[in-house]
Amino acid sequence: MKPVVLVTRKLPDAVEDRLRQDYDPILNPEDALYSSEEIIERAKGADAILPCHTEQFTAGVIARLPESVRAIANFSVGYDHVDTEAAKARGLIVTNTPEVLSDATAELTMMLMLGAARRASEGERLVRTREWKDWSPSFMVGTQVTGKRLGILGFGRVGRVVAKRARGFDMEIHYNDLQRMPPELEEGAIYHETPEDLMHHCDFLTLHCVASPETTKLLNADLIALLPDGAIVVNASRGVVIDDDALIAALKSGKLTAAGLDVYNGEPNINPEYRQLSNVFLMPHIGSATKETRDAMGFRALDNLDAIFAGREPRDRVA
């Protein structure tokens, strides 16, 4: 018999086709957002669960999963929605899908940077509402990206691809990470030992941090105060790395010129003040949303499941 896999969201057609070939999937064709109770109920008889970051596997949920469940193969690179310690204690294997979404997320980061700098949200609204009247030298003046200093907080896979794309705009790259990268990965980027040291060198700041207790509200009022006046902040990593109150205050005061955001605390119920600010370029958490990347994420999750059910160590085990 084929292993039974509970799939919590609607996946790309190519991924679901492969699932049907090798597994007995319990699919979600309506793409409903299941509650924890529904996941526990639907997992009865399942050998594995293939969830997204939208589902929360707390210690309490993991404790109540059916005994048949052996693995949680995430359709995401982030796995902060899974209590990995509880999973280990239960004997569950947990995997994620790293590497395959770096290009797509870096593209979105550049879009956020350009959109925030060139006032894209304001401009589009003017055109759509027919408020655009004429041209003048002082109309819709934004910030030039070319030749500026880019600070990257978190120089992992995505951060390094962002650096590569930004070099096409002749940007000077600065970064901070837990440790300095070897020269072949730095490619001329300038290392700073602490986030505080990095802030002084950022005309633009992009965040590419994992969600953890150490990174929660990492960009707070103290760090923002160290940025040059008029800097622009971009976040396509996790909402928790930003202190919303501090960022909103800086955008209102003019300390920061603008921000570009794809991720938020409490999404989709984001801080309502963001919607009132004209100097914030907002996107709905779509960093990995290209057909190529979503297919690759699904195939990577299935590669991990294939290894698990073949008795091999999965490539992307995180618990």
3-state secondary structure the chain: CCCEEEECCCCCHHHHHHHHHHCEEECCCCCCCCCHHHHHHHCCCCCEEECCCCCCECHHHHHHCCCCCCEEECCCCCCCCECHHHHHHHCCEEECCCCCCHHHHHHHHHHHHHHHHCCHHHHHHHHHCCCCCCCCCCCCCCCCCCCCEEEEECCCHHHHHHHHHHHCCCCEEEEECCCCCCHHHHCCCEECCCHHHHHCCCCEEEECCCCCCCCCCCECHHHHHHCCCCEEEEECCCHHHECHHHHHHHHHHCCEEEEEECCCCCCCCCCCHHHHCCCEEECCCCCCCCHHHHHHHHHHHHHHHHHHHCCCCCCCECC
Task: Kindly list the catalytic residues.
Answer: 238, 267, 285
